[in-house]
Structure 1
């Protein structure tokens, strides 16, 4: 998720740290070096002198830093600022962000994840612990997206930190607040299972909306069903809570239907690969390569679907359906051409010739 400073609000109107600002949409200006304050840095070991020396040796202008406009405090770019001071630069190019001061640290973490000198794993763990202390209502997935850790790792940090308040609700990536007690977690996942069973064609967003869960949880439930796993993770407390619920009858196992067997299709493809008319022509080889992409077992497709990130699911779903439509139209066109060819061969020798296309 990317947005301007202060864009993301919780459902109760409170301000939440956004993930990564769109710097290209932010004011950029040359700022006096001496006017800037040091960052509230997530780097636990301070600045790297060798990296500063590398930046000093650059002949080109240093890349812009990021500054909190209201306070003049550096959010991202302390190594570049230190290099500019060593070089004797009077000004440095900077993006100026307007946001609540309490959001500055989380923004600094997100900006230091993927560019410049990335944060170490220990830095990110320490940052996650601090963000959880300051904003305990943020979900594990939310903090994970800021710190580039896995949600499971953030959950361990939350449980091991005695000074992190444990709340019954969490705020997700979509800004919505949801209950986080084990009974609610289990029931939400089970509602998602029912939605998937009744509407197997439903998108992840539809499943999340109908089950009252986050998009990430909907993705996890669908992945578990594809892999034949329990939709409620064991060891989380939610599974134990569900096991204590009285049941009048056993719950039927719910799995996503597998695709039809591809054995016949593979045999047809093998025969076509041996056909000289296709194998020895450029167009034929191109067509065979296109078919080879789909020569996968149903279990491989299921595992592949389980790896799709939630934010990519809608786009991939739409693109896959569009590709299926392209193949369907191609099949229909091949059938028409074949039928026209058969009709032409069946005409008497003195009959009218078929008009050219």
Structure 2
């Protein structure tokens, strides 16, 4: 947003015919206040340039200045142009209308914030709150009404331009799954594929190499303590906080991890990584069972049955070894 405003300030001011300008991106319920426009028209001072969305010729900022110019009997108006999508133009219109001019009401700011959440679900609550002039908690509540589960689980873009995962457990699971198929992948490749930081990718690889779960106990316990998280802040479901069998005491997989003959070879460690990530993948798939469309359930069930038969063949092979 700062970059958009800066580019607007640096853009050349042009004289634009009033007849070529269309409706506005204004977040106001009543887009024009005739009294305010009349006050501006009576001012002897030149009005600041308005901002126009180039592709649609709609006003982003300056509806009242546009009307005042018409009341003055002028045919052109000073304007700068913004190049971007309609969604970006609306977000910029909200920001500019919040920071100056006729103030937006609270209901207008909330409505604007909800629309921005729908159009930019990857933006953080704090970023949207600053743009729309509402608190990040308000945006969180609106997000729960505006977006679906997939958008809630994705990374969010913060004010500094860096993407951060809403759900760190899910990111670690994706990293573990990627490692199972790409054991020789670099840390940057793991981080890019799973949507996590390089530091997290390094920790996931170290834990799996050491025969540990990719999900640290402290992180799982911290997620469990969030009994009533604010809506929209990446809620942790019961399935998400349930620790997979790999970290539930001395189970069969733990027995393999504790065997030096397995952990001392590269092939043994690769086998541990594969078995660990399979358990993690099963746990992750269970989380999305209720979110799968009905017409896809049969296909997923058949995939699961085929994999079950493949695992049975592996079990038979090891039983006879």
TM bin, normalised by shorter chain, reads: 0.5 to 0.7
- Look up the match of 1:178: 164
1:247–1:80 Cα change, 3 Å: farther
Aligned mates of 1:166, 1:2 — CA distance in 2: 24
The equivalent of 1:61 in structure 2 is: 46
Q: How far did residue 37 of structure 1 move?
A: 1.0
1:235 has 2:245 as partner: no
Structure 1 position 71, deviation (Å): 2.7
Query: Residues 238, 2 of structure 1: CA spacing in aligned structure 2 closer, same or farther, 3 A cutoff?
Result: same
- Provide the TM-score with structure 1 as the length reference: 0.47
Q: Tell me how far 1:241 sits from its aligned partner.
A: 8.5
In structure 2, stretches of 5+ residues that fail to align are 174-196, 202-221, 230-234, 250-321
Q: Displacement of 1:119 after TM fit? A: 1.8
- Residue 123 of structure 2, aligned match among 129, 135, 138: 138
Which shows bigger deviation, 62-71 or 235-244? 235-244
CA distance in 2, matches of 1:163, 1:48: 36
Alignment of 1:70-149 (within 5 A): 70-149=55-134
* Cα-to-partner distance string for 1:59-113 (whole Å, 9 max, x where unaligned): 1111111112233221100011011111111111111222233311111111111
Give the alignment's Cα RMSD to 1 decimal. 3.4
Contact 2:55 2:83 in 1 (8 A): yes
Larger gyration radius, structure 1 or structure 2: 1
Q: CA deviation at 1:234?
A: 5.7
Alpha-carbon distance in 1 for matches of 2:147, 2:164 = 23
- Quote the Cα distance in structure 2 between the aligned partners of 1:114 and 1:51: 17
- Give, in angstroms, the shift of residue 128 of structure 1: 1.3
Secondary structure of 2:15's counterpart equals: strand
Give the match's secondary structure for 2:99: coil
Partners of 1:136 and 1:164 within 8 A in 2: no
Q: Which ranges in structure 1 are unaligned for 5 or more consecutive residues?
A: 5-19, 188-207, 213-229, 249-357
Q: CA deviation at 1:54?
A: 1.2
Give the Cα–Cα distance (whole angstroms) in 2 for the partners of residues 165 and 147 of structure 1: 24
- The answer on 1:157 being equivalent to 2:150 is no
Structure number having the greater helix percentage: 2
Compared CA separation, residues 247 and 114, structure 1 to 2 (3 A)? farther
C-alpha deviation, 1:172, in angstroms: 1.3
The alpha-carbon distance between structure 1 residues 144 and 234, as it changes in their structure 2 partners (threshold 3 A), is: farther
CA distance in 1: counterparts of 2:18 and 2:161, whole angstroms: 37
Residue by residue, what CA displacement relative to the aligned partner does 1:272-324 show, whole Å, maximum 9, x if unpaired? xxxxxxxxxxxxxxxxxxxxxxxxxxxxxxxxxxxxxxxxxxxxxxxxxxxxx
Matched, 1:2 2:2: yes
Q: Secondary structure at the match of 1:94?
A: strand
Say how many residue pairs are matched.
196
Report the 3-state secondary structure (helix = DSSP H, G, I; strand = E; otherwise coil) of the residue aligned with 2:13: strand
TM-score in terms of structure 2 length? 0.52
